[in-house]
Amino acid sequence: MNVYAIRVIYKYEMLRAVETWLQSFASPVISTALYFVVFGSAIGSRIETIDGVSYGTFIVPGLMMLALLTQSISNASFGIYFPKFTGTIYEVMSAPVSFVEILIGYVGAAATKSLIIGLVILVTAGFFVPLEIAHPFWMVGFLLLTCVSFSLFGFIIGLWATNFEKLQLIPMLVITPLVFLGGSFYSVSMLPPAWQTVTLFNPVVYLISGFRWSFFEVADVSVGTSLLMIMVFLSLCLLVVWWMFKTGYRMKK
């Protein structure tokens, strides 16, 4: 294992985030504050509690997941796409570095940045609503799994994309709607029975449900099912990345 190569890639990606700290870290904090003003105040004044949890507190896990998913994909996809765009990807590919080491460097940096953003949002939420985490260990576990899984997914998008527009295509048209329709700001049990069944086909429901359980011990689906879905998604992403590197998909052109 070439630890030096991993450290170089990781350090470069983290330095890029520091140089653009306003966009990387300040923007999610401002967005979270606005969500609390709009949803917490406007809607929260009409919905007092959900499953015994005040509405403003209830939406915290959903807000964190919204930021984690979009930021993980964005950081990882841009991180690997930019070397393709500039042509420096060939230098990386020709260096004595395996695809595993490249993957750890880029995905590790993207996951780290997303994790920091998630923790910053959690602290920000604490200024607006009272927070108590019932299962801190499980909360951190879900946080790490989500960051790594969707950083891998973003890495795949970065390899697949042929222009900057495609980098935003899936996050904007697929991921964000799935998060909003996945119980971020409401409980699935509040929907009519038919729509509850339809919602269970949304994979993001399982992420948000498991994460929310770690906070309030309230979940739309079982914790075991949530963990299983995350592990399946993680495994599929690893398989796709391995195939891309093995075949040189969108890297040898």
The confidence score (pLDDT) of residue 252 equals 55
Percentages helix, strand, coil for the chain (3-state, rounded to 5) are: 75, 0, 20
* pTM, rounded to two decimals: 0.89
1-44 per-position pLDDT tens digit: 778 888 888 998 888 777 766 666 777 778 777 877 777 666 66
pLDDT < 70 positions in the chain: 20-24, 40-46, 251-253
The confidence score (pLDDT) of residue 172 equals 84
Q: What string of DSSP letters covers 24-87?
A: IIIHHHHHHHHHIIIIIIIITTT--EETTEEHHHHTHHHHHHHHHHHHHHHHHHHHHHHHHHHT
Q: Name residue 245's amino acid.
A: F
Are 97 and 2 contacting, i.e. CB atoms less than 8 angstroms apart?
yes
Q: Which two tokens stand for residue 212?
A: 């929310």
